[in-house]
Structure 1
Amino acid sequence: TLIEAWAAYAGPPAPKPSKTLASHEYLMRIEDPAIRSIMQAIIAERDKLRAQLNVLKANSQVTVDRRPLGATVAGAPGLPPVTVLAPAAQLTPSEREALQKAVSADYLERCGLREGSHGEILNERGRTLFEVGFARAIRRILGD
């Protein structure tokens, strides 16, 4: 009864002032009503898109598989699967092109080099720059 008597004496509670959004405060700083209206529409659209994005995030699961396309998965019982790559699959196109150029006869000739009979790279004096099997190993990696 005491609380009811005090409520009758004091009157109804004062309405709480509505909380203004930060975006609303920024809009009120814009003096031109046309620009303020455009900005208000942009902010409303941004908020709508943000809400849609949050709904999509909550309802989706994305799996990112960054394994190269040439990979095969091998596994033994009791062990986790292992991704196995062929040596050629590990190369980017620019790396593949650079290796092909490095052992091409035209490029070697322009640089004053030549390939020996056992896959070694020799300079114009016949001295070995790259050891026996170098050119053959690169060609094997490239799958040529």
Structure 2
Amino acid sequence: MISATIDHPNTVLDKLLAKGGRAHRLARLTALHEICRRHQESGSHDFSLATVGRLVEAEGILKGRVLYNMQSADYRELISAWAMYAGPVTAQSTKPLASHEYLMRIHDPAIRSIMQTIIGERDKLRAEVNLLKASTQVVVDRRPVGVRAPGAAIVLPTTTSGHIAQLTPSEREALEKSVSADYLERHGLREGSHGEIVNERGRTVFDVGFARAIRKVLGT
């Protein structure tokens, strides 16, 4: 129930308009009042600055961040009147995302745009991680696409299930040869201290752990 001691938003608007000022300020106050009226009539009790800021910005009245400025006290007073008139937010009401609340407090549009991009990338990576967690089997192959030592056999990627295909004698011989010191030296390659394969210039041909992975497949 609405308390009788609470001024109706119409009364608050009349008081604010009576203060006078520039025409565009008075027009914005009136437009803000109309937006809040429609918002309240829709059944919403959420009159936070973030929520109202999105509404006024969507209709091109003003930028949502303006509501946080010191000069926007009249706008906030009118929004507060509507918040008191509508009553407290119910438990079912949707709460604005914390990230949006944070963005709305950034006044510099360039910095806000950068932060919005970063938050978007974070959400995208978080979704990808959740997708990977839901996978029952993930194929792991960190070798550069299309790159292998001259004459070396192509190794099928292993999976998290631990299953390894049976190797034929010729396949086993090819794998053993691909990581042998003599073979690597003849082709201008060598094995690094962490199992990576590098060329004469020290550039990595196969990533760290490559030689060790071959030996694990071979069981040597």
Range of TM-score over shorter length: 0.3 to 0.5
Q: Which has the bigger relative contact order, CA under 8 A and spacing at least 6?
A: 2
TM-score for both structures, normalised by structure 1:
0.39
Query: Which entry has the higher C-alpha Rg, 1 or 2?
Result: 1
Q: Name the structure with the higher helix share.
A: 2
Q: Name the structure with the higher strand share.
A: 1
